[in-house]
Amino acid sequence: MSARLDNLKINYKIWLETKEQQGILGDKKCELLRAIEETGSLNEAMKKLNLTYRKTWENLRKIERELGFPLIKPTRGGAEGGNTVLTNEGKIIIMAFEKFHAEYDQIIQQGFEKILDDLKLQIK
């Protein structure tokens, strides 16, 4: 039995939600914000992450409504096309998620390994 326990790993997601437990923004949406920052384009970010335009746009607007501030600033194209940049708040959100993962991923992994070791002692 413990051989199968050795095959386990922890996987988790974090997200922000309202007091009513309505999800607002999590790791996946933060990944979208990072892709927008990297590509300078909402369309390119969506292509990179294989997302549909309408649902993604609706999700971004919902997040902005819930948070009370814009995360992106799109500009319409001219001869060279439009672009999308993150607002300062959007950049701060990315940094907050990155800081959480940098500070706590290892702690969560260590906690999981301790629980797994305890299980191995109790289940033989």
pLDDT in tens, 90-108: 999 999 999 999 999 999 9
pLDDT average, residue stretch 95-124: 90
User: What is residue 79's predicted lDDT score, i.e. its pLDDT?
Assistant: 59
Using DSSP, state whether 31 is helix, strand or coil: helix
Which one is predicted more confidently, 11 or 121? Answer: 11
Instruction: Examine the pLDDT at 20 and tell me if it is beyond 70.
Output: yes
Q: Which domains does the chain have, with CATH numbers?
A: 15-122 (1.10.10.10)
Residue written as token pair 């095959």: 7
Angstrom distances, CA of residue 90 to CA of 9, 27, 31, 85, 116: 31, 13, 12, 9, 37
User: What is residue 78's predicted lDDT score, i.e. its pLDDT?
Assistant: 60
Which candidate, 17, 14, 24, 50, places its Cα nearest to that of 35? 50
pTM for the full predicted model: 0.81
Which one is predicted more confidently, 25 or 82? Answer: 25
User: For residue 48, which phi and psi values (nearest 5 degrees)?
Assistant: -60, -40
Using DSSP, state whether 17 is helix, strand or coil: strand
Euclidean distance between CA atoms 23 and 100, whole angstroms: 18
